Amino acid sequence: MGDGIGINRRHLVLLAGIGLVPAADLVSARHFSDHASVVIDNLYAEYPRRDLAATARTAGAHLRSLAAVGGQRMRSQVAREVMMLQGRAGALRARALVDAGDTEAAWRVLGTAIARASRAGDRRTVAFGFATKSAADLADGRPGDALRIAERGLHVSGDDPRLYLAAARAHAARLDVDAADADIRIAERLLDEQDAPMIGGPMPGVTSRLEWSRAAVDVYARGGRSDRAREVLETTVAAVPASLTEDTRQALGASFALVQARAEPDAGADILHRTLTASAAMGRPARTVTARVDAFLAAVPDQRHPAVRELVDLRRSLDV
């Protein structure tokens, strides 16, 4: 972008203070849009390694500053780019809030984030927002609404694997195993066509194979397809870089634990205990983790197993 971006100096100082504008560019702001985009991209990329509450706060700070900038008069192209950045920051904040279990706060962000991304013509972030909205409905116990939202998103972006994964999870929650399996397979085909990366943070327009694997193990475990769930788990663990092998086994194992509830309750309880402990260490345990623990404990026929008792005690101590 050239000079004369149309943003006044007071707001440039504000943006520099939170990192959205490099301090050296306060006068011309020549690189405002590119730099702000990189900052937000980095937040998405670092998502798996950051505390969810910290991510939500940081994205919220960026969103408020961008909203202040967006209230000014500026060239139409700049206004569109600022609106796009607002949509992406809002979508990220909503995703972190949903994963942390604060769906009430997420709902306050989601509609505006999707609307801004839509007005800016950012189809990828619109799709990301619908997938997050579907996850929020599912977390709030509304699988029918979750499915309808995922399908609305697919009308906007029919080649987005993340939306098919959202639909698959909703189908699985409704115990429609065949429909869930069909959507998982469509998502897998799209990832092959798009040459998707094996790993990576949840980025609009990019779904990693690891994200697919997590959803697939969830869906197959919930549907009682233990052999298929185990196959996806083992194949994925073998495919990730060696440095991520144990973390991947842990993440997918937390989903697979539901399969182990009856046959191997101590093994399932052990991996969920480690998962819940790790999640709690990053702040409030993620809703997705506590939901898996609750589903596992509900499925265990005898909670007198030592590891199961320890998991019950940990779950109670966290009071979430």
pTM value is: 0.84
Is the torsion defined by CA of 283, 287, 292, 296 positive or negative? positive
pLDDT one digit per residue (tens) for the chain, 320 residues? 334 444 444 454 445 445 555 544 443 344 567 778 888 999 999 998 888 889 999 999 988 888 877 656 567 777 888 899 999 999 999 999 998 888 999 999 999 999 999 999 999 999 999 999 999 999 999 999 999 999 999 999 999 999 999 999 999 999 999 999 999 999 999 999 999 999 988 999 999 999 999 999 999 998 889 899 999 999 999 998 888 888 888 888 888 888 888 889 999 999 999 989 988 877 677 777 888 899 899 989 888 889 999 999 999 998 75
Write out the DSSP string of the chain.
Answer: --S--S--HHHHHHHHHTTSS-GGGTTT-TTHHHHHHHHHHHHHHTGGGS-HHHHHHHHHHHHHHHHHHHTS---HHHHHHHHHHHHHHHHHHHHHHHHTT-HHHHHHHHHHHHHHHHHTT-HHHHHHHHHHHHHHHHHTT-HHHHHHHHHHHHHH-TT-HHHHHHHHHHHHHTT-HHHHHHHHHHHHHHHHHTT--SS---BTTB--HHHHHHHHHHHHHHTT-HHHHHHHHHHHHHHS-GGGHHHHHHHHHHHHHHHHHHH-HHHHHHHHHHHHHHHHHTSSPPHHHHHHHHHHHHH-S-TTSHHHHHHHHHHHHHT-
Q: Which residues contact 207 (CB under 8 A, 6 or more apart)?
A: 160, 161, 162, 165, 187, 191, 196
Report the distance separating Cα 73 and Cα 2, nearest Å.
17
Report the distance separating Cα 221 and Cα 228, nearest Å.
8
Report the distance separating Cα 142 and Cα 107, nearest Å.
14
Instruction: Please list, residue by residue across 44-69, b when 16 or more beta carbons sit within 10 angstroms of its beta carbon and e when fewer do.
Output: beebeebebeebbebbbbbbebbbeb
The backbone region for 141, taken as left when phi is positive above 0, alpha when psi lies in -120 to 50, beta otherwise, is left
Total number of residues shown for the chain: 320
